[in-house]
Every structure is written in C-alpha cells, then in structure tokens.
A and B are shown apart, each in its own frame.
Chain A
C-alpha cells in the first residue's frame, strides 16, 4: 500500500481540527497556546506534502518561514502568559475579560 498525498492531507486536516477544538474548548491559556502550535504544524505538513507532490520548492520555503515565525510567536506569547500568571496567579482566559466594550 502506497502512502499518497491524500493520507498526508487527511492527517493535516485532523491535526488542524484538533487544534481548533483545543482553542475553542480549553480555558487554560497554555493549552490554547499548544493547540495553536498544533494548527500551525498541521499547515506546515500540508505545505510540505503538496510541495513534494508538485515538485515545487516554494512549499518547503513557506514551511520554514512558518517555523521561524512560530518560534518568535512562542517567545512573545509565553512571555505574556508568564506575565499574566504572575499578576493574577491564573492562566484562565475566561477571567481575562477586561477589554469588554
């Protein structure tokens, strides 16, 4: 049985859906954060799979690019979460509703 691109795309879709569900359902900021990482990597998987299928290099470039951005994002995001945790001793996003209009 050969593993076609369909498998990769289905896996990526599954991972992405798990990520979306995590962001929507979980209340802990850290877990939500991990879910976002999952979504990003699902997209990366799609990029690489399609790139390989079509013989194009751009998809791999995009994947590397996403990794760089994700690394930067993780740094800032974690810093914010740490700062929020220090002031409120909690990482529950439902309690962070100061911006209500």
Chain B
C-alpha cells in the first residue's frame, strides 16, 4: 500500500500544473472540483497506509523513490512513520475540506482556477515537507510552502495591503529560513549526511552537546519564523489579508505548525540539548501570553483568530520545548480541527455579512446562520478548553507535562494557566459579539446561511472538534501509543499520576470556566462595553511591536538602501565606471597624435626601428 504513497505528493502537483496551464479554459467551477479531486484522491491513497500503521500490521519504513544529490545522502524518499502519517491525514483531510469550502467561497473570483492551482501546489509542498526522509528534501518543502503562503496571502494583489502582507510574510520567513539553512550546514558538517535515519541513529555518539545545542537553536530559529513565535510572529496577523479558507488551511491548521512538526521530527537532537529545550519552552510561553493579550482587544474577527493561532502555536512550542513531543503534536492535531473550523466559520460569517469583518457591526447572527452558529460554538468551547471538547485534552496534556518538569517550569505552567483564562475570555468575546445579543448590522445587509459546499466542511470539522480529544485521554493513551515508533530513542516523560493529572485538569477547567463566565457577563449586555482604557488601547495597537520593528529595523534598512542607491551607486560605482572611461579616452587622445597620416613618417619609423633592432640583436648576440 505504501508503493502508491508518492502519488500523495505527485497528484496535487499534477492538479496544480493542470490548473496553471489550462485553468482558464477549464473555467469555474470545474477547476475547483478538479483541485478537490486530486487532493481527495491523495487523501484516499494515504488512508489505507495510515490504517495499517494504526492497526500495527505495518511498520514504519523508508520508501526510496530516486536519487537526488547522492553526495550529501539526499534522496527523494518518503519516511512513512506514524508522525508523517498523522500529518498526512491532517493536511490532505483538512485540505480536502477546505478545497470543498473554497469552491463555494471563491465563487465569482476572477482568478478562480489560479486559486486552486496555488492551493494544490501548497498541498503538494506540505506533503513533501512532512513525508521527507532527509533534511534536504524537508527544506525544499519548507521553502515551497513559504512560496505558496506568499502567493495566497497576496492573492488579491491589487489591494496594496494584501501585496504588502504577502511580502512581509515572505521576508520575515526568510529570517527563519536562514537559521534552518545554517543548522543544515552544521548537520552536514557533523554527520556527513542529511538522512534522518542515519542522523537520529548516530546522533548522541557523533556530536557533542555544544554542537547539538547550536544545531537545535538554529533549527528553532527556523521554527520561530514558520510557526510565528516571538520575535518573528508579526507576519501572521497581516497574513489574514488572504482569502479566509487560505487563512484556515495555511495560516492556522497546517503550514504554521510545520515548525512544531520539524522540532518533533528532530526530537532526538533536541533531547540532547536541554538548554535549547528551555529556550523553546520560554519562547513558546511568552508568545502564548503576548498573543493572547493582543487578541483580547481586536475587533476584526480574523485578527482575533490570527492572534489566537499565534497563542495556540505558543502552547505547542511550549509542549515540544518541555520534551512532551506527543502532547505538542496532539495539540497540533486538535488545533488543526478547531482552528480550521473557527476560520471557516468566520469566513461563513464574513460571507453572510457581505465582507464585513468588524465584530462591532455583527451580533445576533445565531438565528440567521444556525449551522455556522452551532459548529463554531463547538470550536469556541474546544479552544477555551472546555471538557470534553478536544482542546481540553490536548491543552491539559501540555500544561500537565510542563508542571511535571517542576522547578522553574512551574512558572511557565502558571503563565500557561493565565493564557488559558485569557483564551476562554477572548473567544467568548468573539462568540458573543458575533452571534449573541442584538443585531448591530445596518439595514441593507441581509445575513444568510452559507451554501452546502461551505457548511459540509463546517459539520465534518465540528465532529472532529468534539471528538478528536478522546484518542488521547489519561485512561486511554491511544494517540501516544501510536506515535511511539516516531519518538524512538527519545526519553519518555513519566506521566503524572491519575490523581494529580485530574487535579491539574480541574484547575484548568475552573480557570477556563471563569474566563467564559467573565467574557459572557461582560459582553452579553445590551450595549457593548467601551473598551477604552489604556490597556485596551495598547492591546488594540498590538503593543506597538510593528511600529517598534518599523523604527528599529525597517527604517534603518530603508536608510541603508537609500544610501546604497544614491551615494554608493551614483557616486562610488558610477564614479568608478566614468573615471575608467575618461582615463581611457585621455590615453587615446595622447596616442592619436602618433597617427599623423604621413606615410613617409611611418616608413621612417619602421626604418629606425629596424636599425635599432639590428643593433640590439648584435649587442645581445655578442657580435660587437
């Protein structure tokens, strides 16, 4: 069954090619269905291979496809293990649903086929990233998803803000990619190969702790860029300029989790470097807190979700930072479902409100769009960490693992709890402002439930949002067991006792409930609260981080460019070129005087030169 796995990458790539070349001729909506078909087929191919891994009838294997750069041990090969299978299911499964959703959402767009070409290309790139059997191939996928992200953020490039957001995402990601690339160079210098199997098998014996720390810190720089952590998170809120299904698929469910996936994949190396682990955990916690504080005051529904994505990514990073790789990947999985659902629900709302994104102009939509209301309600409870929704289990596992590390990590656990409170609060704020209370939209807007192609994905995602958590509960650790073979050689974290775990879960549950009650109480009044305190204003302005970067990095960068363009280019470079030119011209003027045009003069020169030569030869030859 694994023989066909290469098609999981090839089919979406083929779909992208067809839509790129013939999209205009195929037209709407066939090109959309075509895109969905290729991704769905990829999913269908991966399902049996995944099931046989789940049932235990098949073992992880590396499927060799063809040789790429033999000198560095970089083949095009697929590492098919539980972690890869899980990511394949998430990417192709949610990817298919979002293709289906997009068929309705993008209706009437001028560049409809192009959109599906990019979306298919993204699926192919992401599959390349997660199925890679070596760092080189992973890096190619890593870069390609960045490209797709850029293409799709600035899909509506005639809008200047969208074009700028695409550029910002691409450039900020380049900083992270730099770290990843340097890490790969050190990996190759230390191991002489990029192959995962060889590196992870020989890891602890070949490199020192110092080298491992360098490699993992640089890998983490890559993850910081891709997974939007402090200080490189600033691109993700702007990425919301793209179409909403893109935000759901790329900037919430899949691509931004690539950093977490990469850390989990490199778990053996990260385990060797405890310093990196602490850095990762602290950065993750700080990101979770900062993003939650910003999310509170946003009024744009997509901005709230964007910051909440950053915050949840912070949780995942905290999870892998404390060595709870399974917990991090588990939260990645449940988050993929409920955050995709939240974005698609938000898209449905925006669609219904005729492109209105400001929550202050919504309210009372529950009756108008019941399916969106119910499914988003499930996602709201899941991300808030309500029992028994999926977010409760995964978030709790990360917090539990952090607490279990003891020492300074208890502080991180406390901050994590605070973030849980804030999360419940701002998600309740979003939910109530959108669906509850009285309608605040103007007379000429007529909200309506979205078409079936948009509500079906909502319902499917809603089902998983409710149920996905049950695959890994303290009484039944099926998910952890499934992933075990992917984390071979990684020390297993001792689980908390059931009693302690329950107590901690109780604490988080109380905190989450408090957040919900607080939010509900504050926002379900007839009038919206003013939100004009100092904290609210600062939070709404995202604490001025963008301005700060603008002043400290962008402005000097612009100055340097201007200097290069005006002083360096016009004076130094052009000056050199002009100087050489006029020097040669002067030399030519001097030499031109010898060209008299007098034939007899030339002949005299030849005669004199001949005499001189004869004399020289006679002298040198010793004739005189």
Tell me the residues in window 579-624 of chain B with beta carbons closer than 8 Å to chain A beta carbons: 591-600, 603-604, 607
**Chain A contacts of B592 at CB under 8 A?**
101
- Given the interface contacts A101-B592, A101-B593, does A94 sit within 8 Å of B598 by beta carbon? yes
Partner of B607, one of A20, A98, A99: A20
Complex CA–CA separation, A94 to B602 (angstroms): 12
Query: Is B607 within 8 A of A24, CB to CB?
Result: yes
Query: Is A97 within 8 A of B600, CB to CB?
Result: no
Complex CA–CA separation, A96 to B598 (angstroms): 7
**Chain B contacts of A101 at CB under 8 A?**
591-597
Partner of B603, one of A23, A94, A97, A98: A23
Query: Is A96 within 8 A of B597, CB to CB?
Result: yes
Query: Is A97 within 8 A of B607, CB to CB?
Result: no
Complex CA–CA separation, A96 to B599 (angstroms): 8
The reply on A93 being an interface residue by CB < 8 A is yes
**Chain B residue nearest in CB terms to A97:** B597
The reply on A88 being an interface residue by CB < 8 A is no
Complex CA–CA separation, A1 to B136 (angstroms): 97
**Chain A residue nearest in CB terms to B610:** A20
Query: Is A94 within 8 A of B595, CB to CB?
Result: no
CB of B464, distance to nearest CB on chain A (Å): 87
**Chain B contacts of A20 at CB under 8 A?**
607
**Chain A contacts of B597 at CB under 8 A?**
96-101
**Chain B residue nearest in CB terms to A94:** B598
CB of B219, distance to nearest CB on chain A (Å): 67
**Chain B contacts of A23 at CB under 8 A?**
600, 603, 607
**Chain A contacts of B596 at CB under 8 A?**
97, 100-101
Tell me the residues in window 22-39 of chain A with beta carbons closer than 8 Å to chain B beta carbons: 23-24, 27, 32
Query: Is A27 within 8 A of B593, CB to CB?
Result: no
CB of B607, distance to nearest CB on chain A (Å): 5
**Chain B contacts of A93 at CB under 8 A?**
598-600
Complex CA–CA separation, A94 to B600 (angstroms): 8
Total A-B contacts with CB atoms under 8 angstroms apart: 35
CB of B602, distance to nearest CB on chain A (Å): 10
**Chain A contacts of B591 at CB under 8 A?**
101
CB of A94, distance to nearest CB on chain B (Å): 7
Q: Please report the total number of B residues contacting A with Cβ < 8 Å.
A: 13
Complex CA–CA separation, A2 to B597 (angstroms): 48
CB of B601, distance to nearest CB on chain A (Å): 9
Complex CA–CA separation, A98 to B595 (angstroms): 10
Most buried by A among B596, B597, B604, B607: B597
**Chain A residue nearest in CB terms to B595:** A101
Complex CA–CA separation, A23 to B606 (angstroms): 11
Complex CA–CA separation, A59 to B137 (angstroms): 75
**Chain B residue nearest in CB terms to A20:** B607
Complex CA–CA separation, A20 to B591 (angstroms): 26
CB of B585, distance to nearest CB on chain A (Å): 13
CB of A52, distance to nearest CB on chain B (Å): 23
**Chain B contacts of A97 at CB under 8 A?**
596-598
Complex CA–CA separation, A20 to B603 (angstroms): 9
Most buried by A among B595, B600, B604: B600
Complex CA–CA separation, A61 to B56 (angstroms): 97
Query: Is A24 within 8 A of B604, CB to CB?
Result: yes
**Chain B contacts of A32 at CB under 8 A?**
599-600, 603
Complex CA–CA separation, A11 to B598 (angstroms): 30
**Chain B contacts of A100 at CB under 8 A?**
595-597
Tell me the residues in window 66-101 of chain A with beta carbons closer than 8 Å to chain B beta carbons: 93-94, 96-101
Complex CA–CA separation, A96 to B602 (angstroms): 13
Query: Is B595 within 8 A of A24, CB to CB?
Result: no
**Chain A contacts of B604 at CB under 8 A?**
24
**Chain A residue nearest in CB terms to B593:** A101
Complex CA–CA separation, A94 to B599 (angstroms): 7
CB of B164, distance to nearest CB on chain A (Å): 58
CB of B267, distance to nearest CB on chain A (Å): 78
CB of B611, distance to nearest CB on chain A (Å): 9
CB of B167, distance to nearest CB on chain A (Å): 55
CB of B532, distance to nearest CB on chain A (Å): 84
Complex CA–CA separation, A97 to B595 (angstroms): 10
Query: Is A24 within 8 A of B598, CB to CB?
Result: no
**Chain B residue nearest in CB terms to A23:** B603
**B77-110 vs A: 1/0 string, CB under 8 Å?**
0000000000000000000000000000000000
**Chain A residue nearest in CB terms to B589:** A101
**Chain B residue nearest in CB terms to A93:** B599
Query: Is B595 within 8 A of A27, CB to CB?
Result: no
CB of B597, distance to nearest CB on chain A (Å): 3
Complex CA–CA separation, A94 to B591 (angstroms): 21
Complex CA–CA separation, A28 to B344 (angstroms): 100
**Chain B contacts of A94 at CB under 8 A?**
598, 600
Query: Is A24 within 8 A of B599, CB to CB?
Result: no
Complex CA–CA separation, A27 to B598 (angstroms): 11
Complex CA–CA separation, A101 to B593 (angstroms): 6
Complex CA–CA separation, A97 to B597 (angstroms): 4
Query: Is A99 within 8 A of B603, CB to CB?
Result: no
**Chain A contacts of B600 at CB under 8 A?**
23-24, 27, 32, 93-94
Complex CA–CA separation, A97 to B600 (angstroms): 11
Complex CA–CA separation, A94 to B598 (angstroms): 6
Complex CA–CA separation, A99 to B595 (angstroms): 7
Complex CA–CA separation, A93 to B601 (angstroms): 11
**Chain A residue nearest in CB terms to B611:** A20
**Chain A contacts of B603 at CB under 8 A?**
23-24, 32
**Chain B residue nearest in CB terms to A98:** B597
CB of B613, distance to nearest CB on chain A (Å): 14
**Chain A residue nearest in CB terms to B604:** A24
CB of B489, distance to nearest CB on chain A (Å): 81
Complex CA–CA separation, A32 to B603 (angstroms): 10
CB of B302, distance to nearest CB on chain A (Å): 74
Complex CA–CA separation, A63 to B603 (angstroms): 23
Closest 8 pairs (CB-CB, A-B): A101-B595, A101-B592, A97-B597, A100-B597, A99-B597, A93-B599, A23-B603, A20-B607
Can you list 6 contacts pairing A with B, beta carbon distance less than 8 Å?
A32-B603, A94-B600, A97-B597, A100-B595, A101-B591, A101-B595
Show the binding face of B for A, using Cβ within 8 Å. 591-600, 603-604, 607
Show the binding face of A for B, using Cβ within 8 Å. 20, 23-24, 27, 32, 93-94, 96-101
Q: Please name 14 further chain A to chain B contacts, defined as beta carbons within 8 Å, in addition to the given A24-B607, A101-B597, sorted by A numbering.
A: A20-B607, A32-B600, A32-B603, A93-B598, A93-B599, A94-B600, A97-B596, A99-B595, A100-B595, A100-B596, A101-B591, A101-B592, A101-B594, A101-B595
